[in-house]
């Protein structure tokens, strides 16, 4: 059965801890070495400390930090610094999650480094999915402000940067979008949707709801963050992101959220450009304040160093005075030893000399620790001064005794001198042995250092060898690819030659057609000239016909007037005839008119 790994990515301070806590209560493994929480935070972070540390190193190898707004470089996973961390990532996965059936990797920086961990998890035999936790941009900005001295514009830009990178880095794997407010309101529903969309090997039964209510604690959401109003920034970036987040929550049920996040990024581009100067001004102010604090600390450190240097000079002067007193004391002891002739007193004096030499050795050891033990030195110097006073009293008593026994000690002076010479020879031999031992130690350290350098060089050579092997393999792949491209180019060249011959034939045909076309154009030009002349003749005829038509129309109008006049006279005669027909005389007259006609 294959194991499953869930990458929990989010912007900082977005509530991913609540989701990780819920999954852990349901049986998921969040890592064996938990990251220690910061002051004022919940006891459990549900983050793997080695995972977070390696993420920091990964970003550092790319010249980035968690709060850097620059996009990751192209093909960043193929860079040598990143590839060197692959083995450590495999060790982290094996050491933190072992054979867990469901591993949950939770770190905000996974929004940036997710593709790297996805590659390592798949190599370790995990099926990988992702959950992107989203929270209101203004709430995230307010929460970041309580921990980092960032301008609101930068915190909002971080929210957008992490959201865009998380969406881009989780493409191609089963993934789900989790809204923090929705998780606090209905954890069981959100987890059920997450399990379904990410195909997690978890079972949600009736008892799981109680576990989720205990794990997801709404009281951990800061009240100040929940009531955060619109910031009213001059750039308008806050309004754009809040509106985009609202639309994202409304469109979540309609399908994938890639287009929605890209739309938010496009809408926020211009306000983001306007927001850069205010947050740079605040960052400069923060940097100036940090520089002032560093300058104050540096001045205080210089004051403390000056005080320590004065104390050290005083201690050196006291040590030099003590060395002079010890030298005078040794000279006096030597002079007294040469004048002592009593064997019993000689043994007592030898014991005193041994005691004094032991005291001198202890004093030398104490003086060697002066640079690192200023306060301890003062205490030891006081004790040494008291011991010196005691020794001076002892020497005074011995001097009195020696003066009383001088007469009996003269006989043993030569024996004592021989013993002193023997002792000096032994001291010289001991110093030579110590010098030889120091030389051997230096030689041993030199050999150890050289061995470490050789090991480092060997590691470098091995890394270079592996790099050369990879380059050789890549070169071989490129050579194979180039050979295939060469064969393809030769085939394309043959096709081009064939096409060139065909084009030459077509060009010849086109030339012939162009010649025929030019001849046809000449003929058509002549015909067009004839048509123009005919058109001009027809125009003249049309003008003549128009003139004749105008004359005919005027004659027609005159004739129409005459016809109208005749019609008027006909109507008048018809009326007269009708009146005559109606009268008797008229009918008689008309009848007389008709009869002769008959």
Give the whole-angstrom CA distance, residue 313 versus residue 307: 10
pLDDT digits (tens, 9 = 90+) for 342-358: 445 555 556 655 665 66
Give the chain's domain count.
1
pTM for the structure as a whole: 0.51
Tokens of 439: 């030389």
In a domain, 241, yes or no: yes
In a domain, 174, yes or no: yes
In a domain, 540, yes or no: no
pLDDT digits (tens, 9 = 90+) for 246-274: 999 887 555 578 888 999 999 988 888 87
- 3-state DSSP call for residue 326? helix
Write down the number of H helices and E strands in the chain. 17, 4
Residue 354 burial (CB < 10 Å; 0-12/13-18/19+)?
Answer: exposed
Q: Which of 87, 96, 111, 226 is nearest to 160 (CA)?
A: 111
Cβ neighbours of 114 (radius 10 Å)? 24
pLDDT digits (tens, 9 = 90+) for 478-498: 888 888 887 887 887 888 788
| Range of weakest confidence among 225-229, 280-284, 330-334, 505-509 | 225-229
Q: What CATH number corresponds to the domain at position 20? A: 3.40.50.300
> How distant, in Å, are the alpha carbons of 207, 341, 343, 346, 496 from that of 415?
98, 9, 10, 10, 116
Burial of 193-213, coded b for 16+ CB within 10 Å and e otherwise, reads ebbeebebebebeeebeebbe
Give the whole-angstrom CA distance, residue 58 versus residue 81: 8
In a domain, 41, yes or no: yes
What integer pLDDT is reported at residue 397 of this predicted model?
Answer: 61
Sequential DSSP letters for 27-93: T-B--SSBPPPPTTS-S----BHHHHHHHHHHHHHTT--TT--SPPPTTGGGSHHHHHTHHHHHHHH
| Range of weakest confidence among 104-118, 324-338, 416-430, 571-585 | 416-430
Give the whole-angstrom CA distance, residue 159 versus residue 265: 11
Residues 6+ apart with CB under 8 A from 480: none
Question: What HEC string does 536-575 produce?
Answer: HHHHHHHHHHHHHHHHHHHHHHHHHHHHHHHHHHHHHHHH
pLDDT band at 572 (very low <50, low <70, confident <90, very high): confident
In a domain, 231, yes or no: yes
pLDDT, average across residues 164-181 = 93
Give the whole-angstrom CA distance, residue 249 versus residue 254: 10
In a domain, 340, yes or no: no
pLDDT band at 583 (very low <50, low <70, confident <90, very high): confident
Range of the domain at 103: 3-254
In a domain, 14, yes or no: yes
In a domain, 305, yes or no: no
């Amino acid at each position: 059965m294959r194991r499953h790994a869930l990458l929990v990515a989010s912007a900082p301070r977005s509530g991913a801890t609540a989701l990780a806590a819920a999954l852990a209560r349901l049986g998921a493994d969040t890592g064996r070495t938990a990251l220690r929480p910061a002051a004022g935070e919940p006891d459990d972070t549900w983050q793997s400390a080695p995972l977070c540390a390696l993420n920091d190193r990964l970003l550092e190898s790319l010249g980035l930090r968690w709060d850097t707004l620059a996009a990751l470089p192209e093909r960043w996973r193929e860079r040598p610094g990143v590839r060197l961390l692959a083995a450590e990532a495999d060790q982290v996965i094996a050491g933190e999650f072992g054979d867990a059936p469901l591993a949950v990797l939770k770190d905000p920086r996974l929004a940036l480094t997710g593709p790297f961990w996805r590659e390592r998890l798949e190599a370790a035999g995990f099926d990988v999915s992702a959950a992107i936790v989203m929270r209101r941009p203004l709430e995230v900005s307010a929460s970041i402000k309580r921990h980092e001295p960032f301008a609101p514009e930068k915190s909002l830009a971080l929210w957008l940067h992490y959201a865009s990178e998380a969406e881009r880095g989780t493409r191609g794997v089963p993934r789900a979008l989790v809204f923090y407010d929705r998780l606090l309101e209905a954890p069981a529903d959100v987890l059920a949707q997450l399990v379904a969309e990410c195909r997690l090997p978890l079972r949600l039964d009736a008892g799981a709801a109680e576990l989720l209510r205990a794990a997801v604690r709404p009281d951990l959401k800061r009240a100040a963050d929940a009531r955060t109003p619109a910031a009213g920034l001059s750039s308008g970036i806050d309004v754009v992101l809040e509106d985009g987040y609202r639309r994202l929550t409304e469109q979540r049920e309609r399908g994938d959220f890639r287009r929605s996040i890209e739309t938010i990024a496009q809408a926020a581009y211009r306000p983001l450009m306007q927001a850069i100067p205010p947050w740079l001004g605040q960052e400069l102010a923060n940097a100036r304040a940090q520089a002032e604090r560093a300058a104050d600390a540096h001045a205080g450190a210089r004051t403390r160093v000056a005080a320590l240097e004065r104390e050290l000079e005083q201690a050196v002067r006291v040590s030099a005075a003590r060395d002079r007193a010890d030298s005078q004391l040794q000279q006096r002891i030597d002079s007294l030893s040469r004048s002592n002739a009593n064997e019993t007193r000689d043994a007592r004096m030898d014991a005193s000399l041994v005691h004094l030499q032991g005291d001198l050795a202890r004093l030398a050891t104490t003086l060697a620790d002066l640079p690192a033990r200023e306060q301890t030195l003062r205490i030891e110097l006081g004790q040494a001064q008291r011991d010196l006073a005691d020794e001076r009293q002892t020497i005074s008593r011995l001097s009195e005794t020696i003066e009383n026994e001088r007469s009996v000690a003269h006989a043993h002076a030569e024996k004592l001198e021989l013993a002193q010479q023997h002792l000096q020879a032994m001291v010289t031999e001991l110093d030579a042995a110590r010098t030889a031992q120091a030389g051997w130690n230096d030689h041993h350290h030199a050999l150890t250092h050289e061995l470490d350098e050789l090991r480092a060089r060997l590691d470098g050579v091995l890394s270079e060898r592996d790099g050369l092997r990879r380059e050789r393999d890549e070169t071989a792949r490129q050579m194979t690819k180039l050979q295939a491209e060469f064969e393809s180019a030769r085939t394309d060249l043959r096709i081009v030659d064939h096409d060139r011959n065909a084009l030459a034939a077509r060009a010849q045909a086109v030339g012939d057609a162009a010649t025929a076309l030019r001849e046809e154009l000449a003929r058509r030009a002549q015909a067009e000239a004839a048509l123009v002349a005919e058109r001009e003749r027809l125009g003249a005829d049309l003008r003549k016909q128009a003139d004749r038509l105008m004359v005919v129309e005027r004659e027609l109008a005159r004739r129409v007037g005459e016809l109208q006049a005749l019609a008027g006279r006909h109507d008048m005669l018809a009326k007269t005839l009708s009146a005559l027909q109606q009268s008797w005389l008229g009918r008689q007259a008309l009848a007389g008119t008709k009869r002769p006609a008959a």
